[in-house]
Structure 1
């Protein structure tokens, strides 16, 4: 619905709703606070709502939510701290949210999260240390986060992680030694991380690793 500019307040009355798809509503600039009343919701898909500038804090009330997809919301500059209340969330996809400059520390509360996709979040410069608390995480995709300079040492606490993709993180100058603690890791992609000058010796500890891609680390 590419011409839709607003949603009716009455959507908040749909308390049995489990899935809401507002994909490609490219003229929506904001969402209703009343969406926070949809406490049966398990999937919220807002892909490519390119004009959204913010998300309501009330989304933190959606305690049944397992999948949150805000891929391609190009105008979002921040995420509400209240997203940290979504403790049932298993998938968070913020691919292509290229105006995001930071992530809330409260994301560390999402201890059920298994997949975090931050690909093409090209304005992120740092990640919160609290990401190390995501102990259920198996897939972390940071491909083309081109402004990332450093990674938190706490990423070494993600002992369930099997896939770590940092391809084309061209500003990344150093990998933390603690990555050597990721003993479940099977795939590590640091292809075209052209500012890296050294790899930590501790990568020798990654005895489950089957794929290591360091192409173009010039």
Structure 2
């Protein structure tokens, strides 16, 4: 379904009843909808089958939720868009916050959002918990996932592809999920560094990020990295080094 300059579905009081008819919708594209200011959680609630979402040229979209703007503690939103696999946000000039993302997401593309300053992913913390009733010989521990989420962002265990382009105000990309296989960042001149443990990373492309100084806190040993392309990163001062830093790289371009 494509919605182009169709604001009624986001602004009319009776629109929620219509959205309830789209439970089987798989692909949604939203273009030029000025009524889209907050991330429309109530609208998206019925979209339990949605797999692909694209938001283009919604110049007033901030990415925030209306609830977050009205109270200090936003509600739990983990059940929203439970099957979403791909999200693209492009040419949304007012975007200041990446929306809370579902755990099912595999691909995230953020392009041409000049006022976006940070992308911070949540972290998963494993807290040991003793299994009740076990004997001293068979004591065992099980990892209980706990979410530590800056800006209320969830841990995204399935994210494999992240592409960020022409977000000139971007100054922070933090807690990159370890599941990422492809990371491409271009035209983000204010970005000084990245952080995260990218053990599954296969392709890294960074282009025209002139403020980038270091990748040490992000890349680790890079056991799976196959392609490394760095272009026009004039401030880059260091890369991970050592004999085991790039054991699988066969495609290297440093310009």
Would you call these one fold, judging by a TM-score over 0.5?
yes
> Which residue pairs with 1:17 in the alignment?
25
Other structure's SS at 1:170 match:
coil
8 A Cα contact 1:183 1:206, kept in partner: yes
8 A Cα contact 2:214 2:237, kept in partner: yes
Question: Which region of structure 1 is more displaced relative to structure 2, 24-33 or 38-47?
Answer: 24-33
> Which residue pairs with 2:194 in the alignment?
151
* Alignment partner of 2:230 out of 157, 170, 190: 190
- Consecutive unaligned residues of structure 1, counting only runs of 5 or more, are none
* Alignment partner of 1:125 out of 171, 185, 197: 171
Q: Matches of 2:81 and 2:211 in 1, distance apart?
A: 36
Question: Which region of structure 1 is more displaced relative to structure 2, 28-37 or 188-197?
Answer: 28-37
TM-score by length of structure 2 reads 0.71
* Alignment partner of 1:103 out of 98, 119, 122: 119
* Alignment partner of 1:43 out of 29, 42, 52: 52
C-alpha root-mean-square deviation of aligned residues, in Å? 2.5
If each structure's helix is expressed as a fraction of its own residues, which one has the higher value?
1
Instruction: Write out aligned runs for 1:68-217 (5 A).
Output: 68-80=87-99, 82-83=100-101, 86-106=102-122, 109-128=155-174, 130-131=175-176, 134-152=177-195, 154=196, 157-176=197-216, 179-202=219-242, 205-215=245-255
Other structure's SS at 1:116 match:
strand
Question: Which region of structure 1 is more displaced relative to structure 2, 178-187 or 2-11?
Answer: 2-11
Residues 180 and 79 (structure 1), Cα distance of their counterparts in 2 relative to 1, 3 Å cut: closer
Residues 59 and 15 (structure 1), Cα distance of their counterparts in 2 relative to 1, 3 Å cut: farther
If each structure's strand is expressed as a fraction of its own residues, which one has the higher value?
2
- Consecutive unaligned residues of structure 2, counting only runs of 5 or more, are 10-14, 68-76, 123-152
